[in-house]
Amino acid sequence: MVKEIAVATRNKDKIKEIRKILKDLNVRILALGNFNNIPKIAEDGKTFEENASKKARIISNFTDRLTIADDSGLEVEALGGRPGVKSSRFAGKKTDYAKNNAKLLRLLQGMPASKRKARFVCVISIAKNGRVLNVVRGTCRGSIGFETRGRTGFGYDPLFISPEYGKTFAELGPRIKNRISHRYRALKKAKIVIKRLLDF
């Protein structure tokens, strides 16, 4: 029997990425769309850890399954760590990737490359029966470009430049991105915990 893990997100791009990174685990990954009457969860925490843990607790209790919840975002040094936990709604509550990227470019206008340091952060909370069992974090350092580049990925991928490759995540494509990203690094740690909890 294939074991199941619930992932506390409706973001199809995140789910796709998580499934690719965890594909070597013999588990069925269920998104929130696989369940009915899922409660709405306000992401009102001040840290990625608070938001991820809140989602993991509520969804694990509701679905009665081992649950992983991801809260991630971009921290730009010159902006004092913004957009941070508000990365997905940086340009307002009803926004999209393009508007968020445009706002970021506007705020960094005229700033030289040396001042455009940034990092992606991903925190994953693992919970069961409403109780958080473990929290892991992954980070990836880079810089913000002067224009969007590339056609793959999502979020700030067209602006985030990997120093290792000199290209944006959106230019690198999923095959390379999923080997170096903040989410990959967090999930690599989470995978060890998941294996233990599911008795692999």
- Assess contact for 142 and 162: CB atoms under 8 A: yes
Residue 157 annotated among the catalytic residues of the structure: no
Q: 3-state SS of the chain?
A: CCEEEEECCCCHHHHHHHHHHCCCCCEEEECHHHCCCCCCCCCCCCCHHHHHHHHHHHHHHHHCCEEEEEEEEEEEHHHCCCEHHHHHHCCCCCCCHHHHHHHHHHHCCCCCHHHCEEEEEEEEEEEECCEEEEEEEEEEEEEECCCCCCCCCCCCCCCEEECCCCEEHHHHCHHHHHHHCHHHHHHHHHHHHHHHHCCC
- Given the residues 13, 64, 71, 157, select the one marked as catalytic: 71
- Assess contact for 156 and 87: CB atoms under 8 A: yes
Give phi and psi for 185, each to the nearest 5.
-65, -35
**Residues designated as active site:** 71
